[in-house]
């Protein structure tokens, strides 16, 4: 039998790297839920769009030879993905969700599913269904590996972790220290009251959508670099993971999204120690079901108060 104990440090590293990306995704999911009280099923597809935006910029760099400056290429990929997904998020909100606001709560949900299907199929048509390789090795040396307590931590993983932490710190500052952040929290608490206080909630919702989508876009670039390829199918599973992480942590809660993401990544990695690797997604969803039974409002969520 394989040495189970020897795998523990590496699986921790695997789990945290993946978890940090799930955390970014879950943050976007939670933010949108906060202001709109709707599940954005298209979130995973926005993530996929971000991954493709990164790939597109990288191919451009490759063709022009600018790839010789990896830092520039990486920054351009991140910025392109953030810009593209922020715009995409704004467009989705404007055309698919806003016209339905104030109506049935189910309508935007169905609309979100529709957007998700449209984005996935558009990506399939644009790429003829083929995986696009991302030459990560040209940007981050693949043999640069740090060994800590029996775990190999590649430079890619370190970069992912660093970027995630930095993004979360910035996000924290934006939400807690800026005027926009305050407006967002107010809208999230009670949109109607916020409107009375002179907050243009429509604008806030738009901006929140853009911010959440941009987080997904950034996560897409990181996953693209990590998996070394992108394809049109990555959105669905990413969306499911983001949803699970957000619910696990308590949907609407920021700390919850981060903790939920990390726990999910770790559950996926450690699951393979006790079960065949093929069941790793089953383990993830078992965690979700358990959470829903034991703590329906998630780890950091508050029990829902019924509104008058």
Partner 1 sequence: MMKNPGGKLKVISLALATVALLLMAATGVVRPAKLSPIKIGAAGPYTGDVSKIGLDGLNAIRMAVDEANATGGIGGRKIEIVEADDAADPSKAILVAERLAMDRAVIGVVGPMNSATAQAALPTYQRAGLAIISQSATNPDLTEMGYKVMHRICPRDDAQGPASARFIVETLKPKTVYIIDDKTTYGQGLSDQVEPALKAAGVRVLRGQISMEDRDFSPILTRVKSSAPDLVYLGLANPAQAASLIKQAAGLGLKSAYMGGDGLKEKDQLIDGAAGLAEGMFVTSIGRDIKEIPEAREFIRKFESKYGAMSVFGGQSYEAACILIDAARRAHSDPMKITRANVIAALGKTRDYRGILGFPISFDSKGDVVGANIFVYQVKGGNFVPVKEYPATVPAR
**Binding-site ranges for partner 1 (CB under 8 A):** 2-3, 6-7, 10-11, 14, 17-18, 124, 128-131, 133, 135-137, 142-143, 145, 147, 152, 154, 156-157, 223, 226-229, 231, 233-234, 237, 268-269, 271-272, 276-278, 280-281
Helical ranges in the chain per DSSP H? 4-36, 43-64, 70-92, 106-127, 136-139, 155-177, 179-189, 191-196, 201-227, 234-249, 254-274, 280-294
CB of 239 to partner 1, least distance (A): 13
Q: Which residue's CB is nearer to partner 1, number 163 or number 187?
A: 163
**Rounded distance between C-alpha atoms, residue 297 and residue 308, angstroms:** 20
* DSSP string of 76-118, one letter each residue: HHHHHHHHHHHHHHHHHIIIIIGGGTTS-SHHHHHHHHHHHHH
Rg over CA atoms, the chain:
19
Q: Which residue's CB is nearer to partner 1, number 154 or number 187?
A: 154
CB of 233 to partner 1, least distance (A): 7
CB of 261 to partner 1, least distance (A): 14
Please give the torsion angle defined by the CA atoms of residues 172, 177, 180 and 183, in that order, rounded to the nearest 10 degrees: 100
Q: Which residue's CB is nearer to partner 1, number 150 or number 296?
A: 150
CB of 6 to partner 1, least distance (A): 5
Q: Which residues contact 7 (CB under 8 A, 6 or more apart)?
A: 273
Q: Which residue's CB is nearer to partner 1, number 97 or number 270?
A: 270
Q: Which residue's CB is nearer to partner 1, number 144 or number 176?
A: 144
- Alpha-carbon torsion (171, 175, 178, 183), positive or negative: positive
Closest to 187 (Cα-Cα) out of 179, 23, 168: 179
CB of 129 to partner 1, least distance (A): 4
- Structure letter (DSSP) for residue 146: E
CB of 268 to partner 1, least distance (A): 7
Q: Which residue's CB is nearer to partner 1, number 38 or number 123?
A: 123
CB of 251 to partner 1, least distance (A): 24
Q: Which residue's CB is nearer to partner 1, number 63 or number 179?
A: 63
């Amino acid at each position: 039998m394989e040495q189970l104990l020897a795998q523990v440090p590496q699986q921790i590293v695997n789990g945290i790297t993946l978890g940090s990306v799930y955390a970014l995704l879950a943050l976007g999911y939670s933010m949108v839920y906060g202001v709109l009280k709707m599940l954005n099923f298209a979130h995973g597809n926005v993530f996929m769009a971000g991954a493709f935006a990164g790939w597109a910029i990288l191919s451009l760099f490759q063709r022009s030879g600018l790839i010789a400056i990896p830092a520039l290429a990486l920054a351009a990929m991140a910025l392109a993905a953030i810009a593209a997904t922020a715009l995409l998020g704004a467009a989705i909100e404007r055309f698919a969700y806003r016209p339905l606001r104030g109506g049935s709560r189910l309508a935007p949900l169905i609309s979100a599913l529709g957007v998700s299907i449209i984005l996935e199929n558009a990506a399939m048509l644009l790429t003829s269904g083929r995986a696009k390789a991302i030459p990560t090795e040209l940007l981050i040396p693949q043999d640069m590996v740090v060994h800590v307590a029996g775990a190999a931590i590649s430079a890619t993983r370190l970069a992912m972790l660093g970027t995630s932490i930095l993004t979360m710190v910035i996000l924290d500052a934006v939400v807690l220290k800026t005027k926009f952040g305050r407006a967002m929290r107010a809208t999230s608490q009670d949109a109607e009251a916020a409107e009375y206080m002179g907050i243009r909630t429509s604008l806030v919702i738009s901006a929140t959508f853009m911010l959440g989508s941009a987080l997904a876009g950034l996560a897409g670039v990181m996953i693209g670099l990590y998996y070394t390829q992108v394809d049109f199918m990555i959105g669905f599973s990413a969306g499911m993971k983001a949803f699970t992480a957000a619910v696990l942590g308590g949907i609407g809660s920021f700390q919850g999204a981060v903790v939920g993401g990390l726990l999910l990544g770790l559950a996926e990695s450690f699951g393979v120690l006790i079960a065949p690797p093929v069941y790793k997604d089953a383990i993830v969803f078992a965690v979700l079901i358990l959470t829903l039974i034991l703590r329906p409002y998630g780890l950091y969520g508050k029990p829902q108060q019924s509104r008058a």
